[in-house]
Amino acid sequence: MQDMFSDAMEQLLKDRCAPSHIRRIEESGSAEELWREVLASGFADALVPETGGGAGLSLAEVFPIVFVSGRHALPLPFAQTMAVRGVCGATSMPCPDGAIAIASEVDRQADGAILCHRVPFARVSSWVLANLGTTAVLLPTETAQSSLAGGRGSLDASLRWERIPEDASRLTGNHDWRAIGACLIAGLLAGALERVFEMTVGYANERTQFGKPIAKFQAIQQQISVMAEQVFASKMAAQIGFGSATHLPAVSSAAVAKLRTSEAVVSVSAIAHAVHGAMGFTEEYDLQLYTRRLHEWRLSYGSEAHWGSVLGSEVAGTQGLRAIDFVRERIPAWCV
Amino acid sequence: MIDSLTLTSIPAEDEALRPSLRAFLDKALEGVAADVRAHSWMGFDAGFSRALGERGWLGLTFPAEYGGGGRNFFARFVVVEELLAAGAPVSAHWIADRQSGPLILKYGTEAQKRFYLPKICKGEAFFCIGMSEPAAGSDLASVATRAVRTERGWKLNGRKIWTTNAYRSHYMIALVRTSGTAEDRHRGLSQFIVDLSLPGVTVQPIRDLTGDEHFCEVLFEDVFVSDDALIGAEGSGWEQVTAELAFERSGPERIYSSIVVLDEWIGFLRAQNDPSASAITLLGRMVAHLCVLRAMAISVTGKLARGESPVVEAALVKDLGTEFEQQLPLLITEALGGEPGRAVPLPLLKTLAYVTQISPSFSLRGGTREILRGVIARGLGLR
- Residues A220-242: tens digit of each pLDDT: 999 999 999 999 999 999 999 99
Nearest CB partner across the interface for B281, out of A204, A309, A333: A309
Chain A contacts of B2, Cβ < 8 Å? 228, 232
Mean pLDDT of A73-102: 96
Mean pLDDT computed over every residue of chain A? 96
Can you tell me the distance from the alpha carbon of A188 to that of A298, in angstroms, rounded to the nearest whole number? 11
Nearest CB partner across the interface for A309, out of B2, B7, B284: B284
What is the reported pLDDT for B129? Answer: 97
* DSSP for B198-238, written as a single string: STTEEEEEEE-TTS-EEEEEEEEEEEEE-GGGEES-TT-HH
pLDDT above 60: residue A322 = yes
Tell me the CA end-to-end span of chain B in Å, nearest whole number. 12
Residue A123 pLDDT grade (very low, low, confident, very high; cuts 50, 70, 90): very high
Query: Could you tell me the CA-to-CA distances from A64 to A58, A180, A238, B240 in Å, in that order?
Result: 12, 17, 10, 37
Neighbours of B278 (CB within 10 A): 16
Contact present, A320 and A242 (Cβ < 8 Å): no
Q: How high is the ipTM of this complex? A: 0.97
What is the reported pLDDT for B87? Answer: 97
What is the reported pLDDT for A172? Answer: 84
pLDDT above 70: residue A150 = yes
Q: How far is A221 from chain B (nearest CA, A)?
A: 6
What is the reported pLDDT for B1? Answer: 61
pLDDT above 90: residue A323 = yes
What is the reported pLDDT for A2? Answer: 62
Helix H, strand E, coil C: the string for chain A is: CHHHHHHHHHHHHHHHCCHHHHHHHHHHCCCHHHHHHHHHCCHHHCCCCHHHCCCCCCHHHHHHHHHHHHHCCCCCCHHHHHHHHHHHHHCCCCCCCCCEEEECCEEECCCCCEEEEEECCHHHCCEEEEECCCCEEEEEHHHCEEEECCCCCCCCEEEEECCCCCCCCEECCCCCHHHHHHHHHHHHHHHHHHHHHHHHHHHHHHCEECCEEHHHCHHHHHHHHHHHHHHHHHHHHHHHHCCCCCCCCCHHHHHHHHHHHHHHHHHHHHHHHHHHHHHHHCCCCCHHHHHHHHHHHHHCCCCHHHHHHHHHHHHHCCCCCCHHHHHHHHCCCCCC
Alpha carbons within 13 A on the beta-carbon side of A126: 12
- Picking from B106, B120, B55, the residue whose alpha carbon sits closest to that of residue B83 is B55
Chain B contacts of A239, Cβ < 8 Å? 6-7, 295
Burial annotation B354-379 (CB, 10 A radius, 16+ → b, else e): bbbebbebbbebbbebebbbbbbbeb
DSSP 8-state code for residue B78: H
Answer whether A308 sits within 8 Å of B374, measured CB to CB.
no
Answer whether A308 sits within 8 Å of B288, measured CB to CB.
yes
Per-residue pLDDT of chain B (383 residues; tens, 9 = 90+): 677 899 999 999 999 999 999 999 999 999 999 999 999 889 999 999 999 999 999 999 999 999 999 999 999 999 999 999 999 999 999 999 999 999 999 999 999 999 999 999 999 999 999 999 999 999 999 999 999 999 999 999 999 999 999 999 999 999 999 999 888 889 999 999 999 999 999 999 999 999 999 999 999 999 999 999 999 999 999 999 998 998 888 888 899 999 999 999 999 999 999 999 999 999 999 999 999 999 999 999 999 899 888 889 999 999 999 999 999 999 999 999 999 999 999 999 999 999 999 999 999 999 999 999 999 999 999 99
The answer to whether B50 contacts chain A (CB < 8 Å) is: no
CB pairs under 8 A between A and B: 158
The answer to whether B368 contacts chain A (CB < 8 Å) is: no
Contact present, B76 and B120 (Cβ < 8 Å): no
Neighbours of B350 (CB within 10 A): 17
Nearest CB partner across the interface for B284, out of A205, A225, A310: A310
CB burial of residue A40 (10 Å; 0-12, 13-18, 19+): exposed
Phi, psi of A53 (to 5 degrees): 90, 5
Chain A contacts of B373, Cβ < 8 Å? 221-222, 225-226
Can you tell me the distance from the alpha carbon of B347 to that of B136, in angstroms, rounded to the nearest whole number? 39
What is the reported pLDDT for A261? Answer: 98
Contact present, B255 and B324 (Cβ < 8 Å): yes
Mean pLDDT of A182-205: 98
**Is this model's pTM higher than 0.90 or not?**
yes
Contact present, B232 and B191 (Cβ < 8 Å): yes
The answer to whether B283 contacts chain A (CB < 8 Å) is: yes
Classify B88 as helix, strand or coil.
Answer: coil
Contacts of B65 (CB under 8 A, 6+ apart): none
Contact present, A229 and B2 (Cβ < 8 Å): no
What is the reported pLDDT for B362? Answer: 96
More confident residue, A133 or A213: A213
